[in-house]
Structure 1
């Protein structure tokens, strides 16, 4: 049984799993910047990996320390045995530690991931030729991840990438910081709260002090 997420000590809010050759300088770069700008402490390997540290153990440790794992499934994600090991480990953490997993299907259909069709079928054909003993575990992990509720980039915000990323970041933020959910009738308050979150750098450690100045007789709760 997965342990309660509230009892865990998380270092990062979000861990990003992605195929660098596909998305590092494009979609993932924009997503990462949007997360950081919204005060969400995010692990992306080329931003947080200490120079000279072995990539495997460092990334596995970062997964363990992350509240949410966001997996960006792109066309060539399954070509990388490391990416497949990564998603397998993430799905294990989901079951064992109650980690939240949110997939983004970037220019691929969820069924391609779930059933290993198209480019994913080609990638697995190559893995099987190499007699890789991890294929069965990889297939199981992709099936489970492909069945999770997530986002298809072509459908979010009608395919507009910047608007779609904003929508995804807002959803992630609401999962991390439910205290910031506000009445939609309070016009303009959401933007102000997003700015406050960014300035507080929530999740980055340390202590912050906030002073509230109001009219005489006002009560802050």
Structure 2
């Protein structure tokens, strides 16, 4: 394996706060983390590079934020991660960042709206694949960070 951890997140939601701190904490523990801003080489096809990085990682940590499902690239990444989880038994650790885990599993709240919008622009099969992966990650044990004082 090339990376200890592949970090999946929606940049606009968490890059400048939670994800930056998580990345630093993982690095402080001596882990080699795939973080798209640091590891992608110029000219590489983004989805191919991400897929390769997922394939050569021991663990995927998915930071599920309110707008995670609005991003096509996040959903493609998530689908790839969950494929590796089911076929190759890759470890997947979800972090439910200011979202309810049951909203992820049941594709409810802001996630329902995001998937409804994808259904107007993408193929039925593609969106179905994303929904399946999204609901599956919602069933996994993970961390729920709800923004209360105990999270700080």
Instruction: Tell me the TM-score normalized by structure 1.
Output: 0.66
Partner of 1:52: 43
- The structural deviation recorded for 1:157 is 8.1
Partner of 1:145: 137
1:37 aligns with 2:28: yes
Partner of 1:16: 7
Q: Equivalents in 1 of 2:3, 2:149: separation in Å?
A: 27
Q: How does 1:129-168 map to 2 (within 5 A)?
A: 129-133=120-124, 134-154=126-146, 158-160=150-152
SS in 1 for 2:60: strand
> How many residues are paired up?
151
The correspondence for 2:81, drawn from 90, 93, 98, is 90
SS in 2 for 1:51: coil
**Unmatched tracts of structure 1, length 5 or more:** 1-9, 161-221
Q: How does 1:65-80 map to 2 (within 5 A)?
A: 65-80=56-71
Q: Does the Cα contact within 8 Å between 2:98 and 2:147 map onto a contact in 1?
A: no
Instruction: Tell me the TM-score normalized by structure 2.
Output: 0.94
Q: Equivalents in 2 of 1:49, 1:129: separation in Å?
A: 31
Larger radius of gyration: 1
**Unmatched tracts of structure 2, length 5 or more:** none
Q: Equivalents in 2 of 1:127, 1:45: separation in Å?
A: 23
Q: Does the Cα contact within 8 Å between 2:61 and 2:95 map onto a contact in 1?
A: yes
SS in 1 for 2:66: coil
Partner of 2:104: 113
SS in 1 for 2:50: helix
Q: Equivalents in 2 of 1:156, 1:149: separation in Å?
A: 20
1:104 aligns with 2:111: no
SS in 1 for 2:7: strand
Q: Does the Cα contact within 8 Å between 2:119 and 2:127 map onto a contact in 1?
A: yes
Q: Equivalents in 1 of 2:42, 2:149: separation in Å?
A: 37
Partner of 1:215: none
Of residues 48-57 and 80-89 in structure 1, the stretch that sits farther from structure 2 once superposed is 48-57
